[in-house]
Structure 1
Amino acid sequence: MRLFLKFIVVGFLNTVISYILFIAFLSILNYQASYTLSYCLSIGISYLLNTKIVFNVNRSIKSFLRFPLVYLVQYIFGFIILYLLNQYTKIENHIGILIVIFLSIPLTFILSRVVLLKKIQ
């Protein structure tokens, strides 16, 4: 449980950064491009924070190259949810992204743990 709490705190910090980037990009780009760009930038931040603070593992080229796979799955999940919210509800994009973030937390934790620790503890 302590590991999950660290993940939540680090994820919150990374989410705030990602959300700020999304909102900034939204002023000049459409929601799809804004989501994609802010998402890609947050992957690097997440890798640094998760390897050091959450999972306390050594960084390596191998883990660095595997880590984006977690976020590829999360990206596809989030893109679909954001699309559905945009197309079928009246929820605005700046709120929709918060729903996406909330829904993706458990998925991201499990996948990150598997990738960085190579096993489920």
Structure 2
Amino acid sequence: MSRQRSSTDLLKFVIGGGINTAFTYGLYFGLQVVMPYQVAYALAFATGIVFSYWFNATIVFKTPVSWKGFFSFPLVYLVQYLLSAVLLSVFVERMGIPQSVAPLVVIIVTIPITFVLTRWFLRRT
């Protein structure tokens, strides 16, 4: 894969992540008005995984959408969450980065890792 293609894919990945974040936050905000916030969060989070799978498979990496891929794609989110939780702890407790800033640093560090993991995963399924 060429560097330019990889850079274009990364840009599309980041844009898709921004769209997904805005959409799921808006969905959560609307749902929590009519149902308990935890239920609203779970539905918005699950919807975000579905959108992320579809967007990354069809638009970013142009891979076929499949049931196998769909049902195993949440593993990407699990790995990303675990890595983010560890990094957040290290940044706050060991490096003294303020709690309000540390999640932003985590996002910056994990975007390339999540990109590579998502690309690898989608090309395998």
Structure whose alpha-carbon radius of gyration is higher: 2
TM-score normalised to structure 1 length? 0.67
- TM-score computed with the length of structure 2 as normaliser: 0.65
- 1:68-79 mapped onto 2 (5 Å cutoff): 68-79=74-85
**Secondary structure of the corresponding residue to residue 56 of structure 1:** coil
Per the alignment, residue 103 of structure 1 pairs with 109
Cα distance in structure 2, aligned partners of 1:84 and 1:9: 27
Quote the RMSD (CA, aligned, Å).
3.3
Partner of 1:92: 99
Structure 2 unpaired stretches of 5+ = 1-6
Query: Secondary structure of the equivalent of 2:73?
Result: helix
Q: Indicate which of 110, 118, 121 corresponds to 2:124.
A: 118
Identity %: 33
Would the aligned equivalents of 1:66 and 1:115 in 2 still touch at CA under 8 Å? no
Of 40, 49, 58, which aligns to 1:43? 49
- Which runs of no fewer than 5 residues in structure 1 stay unpaired? none
Seen in structure 2, the aligned counterparts of structure 1 residues 91 and 39 have a Cα distance that, compared at 3 Å, is farther
Q: Deviations over 1:45-69 (max 9, x none)?
A: 2112212211122211111122112
- Which structure 1 residue ranges, 4+ long, deviate > 4 Å from structure 2? 36-41, 85-88
1:4 aligns with 2:10: yes
Letter paired with 1:77: L
- 1:104 deviates by 0.8
Check if 1:13 corresponds to 2:19: yes
